[in-house]
């Protein structure tokens, strides 16, 4: 097991773009903190529209969640339309839902437009269910997708077993617009596209201070600074202390993944034969797929902290045995973890932190599609379009009470979700 070595995505990614550290002082119309899916997709649109934009990344593009996730391109928002309307009102709730319908298509369109080499396959996405109540929710979700003109469909137990090559589930549903990417290659491709469009992208440039200068903002880094009229914080799970109330409004939760050695030919023909990735309906989510070389990649909940040794990945090894017993003895080639930004109500949102300063957070596990699709509307907002026109609600920041106790929150939430998985 390659614990402490590169992740699967680091080992198989396209080479990184040249993104030297910021050096010296400069001005820009827009500054973006974070070179992940959100920041780079936004920068591409801004630069293509002729707007001077600078992206500042603490490490290199894709070093955090955008380059470490499962690479599943999942369409939609996890909530049903009536839930979104109850949360935001009928007009905004419907707008959020309709935006979610197109997020996966927007991601794949971006990949095609910039010819990004990232093993992109739009073969569909499976959501298997292992409880009768989850099957009922799947039928309800499919009915709503179909009413909106999408070819989603339910799968009975036999159909899901055939699609997965596993009999571990009762059935579920499939959306043909989903798919998968090599996430780190995708981020690096977005960085190249942003640079080609005229954006400045600087790695190894952590923003150490964010200061108001009249109607503009100064962002300081170890070797330079940027003064910009508008700023986007696109850090999701890692906002640091640039805006403390934002950090206190979310819970960074660890998710761990393992990748086996490439499957033998017979098993590769049987496991996920249609090439779709899958993530199930459990509260403690299991998600899995094959990579381009036929490795089985499975992920799920991690420890409260980062990986500490082979035992940190015991849950993922149990998943392999539970889902595909024939793969149980395959060696694990890669094991890694990353953080997901969870907000209590699981609703993505945009915050206006101050005039000219906005943040987009709360991917809640759907970031590949969601953040890719947010690029254009965020760029338009940073160019002067009213924030009320954004497809996601602009909401006040709501810090989580007693946020310093977040390890207890996460532990208690995890225990409750396990109870629900076992009995509900």
Question: What's the token pair of residue 48?
Answer: 């293509």
At 20 the pLDDT is 98
Residues in the chain: 424
pLDDT beyond 60 at 421? no
pLDDT, one tens digit per residue, over 188-209 is: 999 999 999 999 999 999 999 9
At 413 the pLDDT is 46
pLDDT, one tens digit per residue, over 207-249 is: 999 999 999 999 999 999 999 999 999 997 666 788 888 888 8
Cβ neighbours of residue 61 closer than 8 Å, sequence gap 6 or more: 16, 17, 19, 35, 36, 40, 67, 187, 188, 190, 191, 201, 203
Question: What's the token pair of residue 376?
Answer: 């254009």
pLDDT, one tens digit per residue, over 135-144 is: 999 999 999 9
pLDDT, one tens digit per residue, over 258-267 is: 999 999 999 9
pLDDT beyond 50 at 415? no
Please tell me whether residue 415 adopts helix, strand or coil conformation. helix
Integer Cα distance of 102 and 73 in angstroms: 11
At 146 the pLDDT is 94
Full strand arrangement of the beta sheet holding 332-342 = 153-155, 171-175, 125-129, 278-279, 286-290, 295-301, 251-262, 332-342
Please tell me whether residue 226 adopts helix, strand or coil conformation. strand
At 1 the pLDDT is 36
Please tell me whether residue 122 adopts helix, strand or coil conformation. coil
pLDDT beyond 60 at 411? no
Question: What's the token pair of residue 71?
Answer: 């690479």
Q: Are 266 and 317 in contact (CB under 8 A)?
A: no
Mean per-residue pLDDT, 389-393: 92
Cβ neighbours of residue 112 closer than 8 Å, sequence gap 6 or more: none
At 407 the pLDDT is 52
pLDDT, one tens digit per residue, over 268-297 is: 999 999 999 999 998 767 999 999 999 999
pLDDT, one tens digit per residue, over 23-74 is: 999 999 999 999 999 999 999 999 999 999 999 999 999 999 999 999 999 9
Cα angle at 153 between 150 and 157, to 5 degrees? 165
Q: What is the band of 167 on the pLDDT scale with cuts at 50, 70, 90?
A: very high
Q: Percent of the chain, pLDDT > 90?
A: 72
Distance of CA 333 to the CA centre of its chain: 23
At 69 the pLDDT is 94
Q: What is the band of 3 on the pLDDT scale with cuts at 50, 70, 90?
A: very low
Element (H, E) at 44: helix 37-48
Q: Are 305 and 254 in contact (CB under 8 A)?
A: yes
Cα angle at 277 between 372 and 317, to 5 degrees? 115
pLDDT, one tens digit per residue, over 283-340 is: 767 999 999 999 999 999 765 667 777 788 998 999 999 999 999 999 999 999 988 8
At 284 the pLDDT is 67
Question: What's the token pair of residue 25?
Answer: 């002082």
pLDDT beyond 60 at 417? no
Nearest alpha-carbon partner for 202 in 62, 48, 35, 358: 35
Question: What one-character DSSP code corresponds to residue 399?
Answer: P
What pTM was estimated for this model as a whole?
Answer: 0.93
Q: Percent of the chain, pLDDT > 70?
A: 91
Place of tokens 């409260």: 304
Integer Cα distance of 363 and 275 in angstroms: 24
pLDDT, one tens digit per residue, over 87-102 is: 889 998 999 999 999 9
């Amino acid at each position: 097991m390659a614990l402490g070595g590169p992740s699967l995505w680091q080992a198989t990614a396209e080479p990184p773009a040249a993104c030297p550290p910021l050096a010296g002082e400069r001005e820009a119309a827009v500054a973006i903190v974070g070179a992940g899916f959100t920041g780079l997709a936004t920068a591409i649109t801004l630069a293509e529209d002729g707007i001077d934009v600078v992206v500042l990344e603490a490490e290199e593009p894709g070093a955090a969640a955008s380059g470490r996730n499962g690479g599943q391109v999942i369409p939609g928002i996890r909530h049903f339309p009536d839930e979104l309307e109850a949360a935001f009102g009928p007009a905004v709730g419907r707008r959020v839902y309709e935006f979610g319908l197109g997020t996966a298509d927007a991601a794949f369109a971006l990949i095609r437009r910039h010819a990004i080499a990232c093993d992109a396959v739009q073969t569909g996405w499976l959501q298997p269910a292992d409880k009768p109540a989850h099957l009922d929710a799947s039928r309800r979700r499919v009915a709503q997708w179909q009413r909106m003109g999408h070819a989603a469909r339910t799968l009975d137990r036999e159909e899901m077993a055939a699609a997965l090559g596993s009999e571990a589930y009762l059935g579920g549903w499939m959306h043909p617009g989903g798919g998968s990417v090599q996430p780190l290659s995708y981020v690096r491709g977005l960085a190249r596209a942003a640079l080609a469009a005229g954006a400045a992208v600087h790695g190894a440039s952590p923003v150490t201070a964010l200061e108001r200068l009249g109607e503009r903002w100064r962002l300081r880094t170890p070797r330079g600074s940027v003064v910009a009229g508008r700023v986007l914080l696109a850090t999701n799970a890692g906002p640091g202390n640039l805006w403390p109330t934002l950090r206190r409004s979310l819970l960074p939760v660890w998710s761990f993944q393992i990748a086996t050695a490439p499957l033998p030919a017979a098993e590769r023909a049987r496991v996920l034969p249609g090439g779709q990735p899958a993530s199930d309906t459990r509260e403690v989510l299991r998600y899995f797929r094959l990579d381009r070389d036929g490795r089985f990649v499975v992920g799920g909940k991690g420890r409260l902290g980062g990986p500490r040794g082979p035992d940190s990945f015991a849950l993922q090894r149990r998943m392999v045995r539970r889902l595909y017993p024939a793969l149980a003895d395959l060696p694990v080639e890669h094991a890694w973890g990353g953080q997901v930004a969870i907000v209590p109500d699981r609703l993505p949102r945009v915050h206006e932190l101050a005039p000219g300063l906005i943040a987009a957070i709360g991917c809640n596990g759907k970031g590949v599609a969601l953040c890719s699709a947010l690029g254009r509307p965020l760029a338009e907002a940073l160019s002067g379009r009213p924030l009320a026109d954004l497809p996601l609600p602009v909401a006040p920041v709501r810090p989580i009470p007693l946020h310093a106790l977040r390890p207890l929150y996460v532990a208690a939430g995890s225990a409750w979700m396990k109870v629900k998985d076992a009995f509900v």
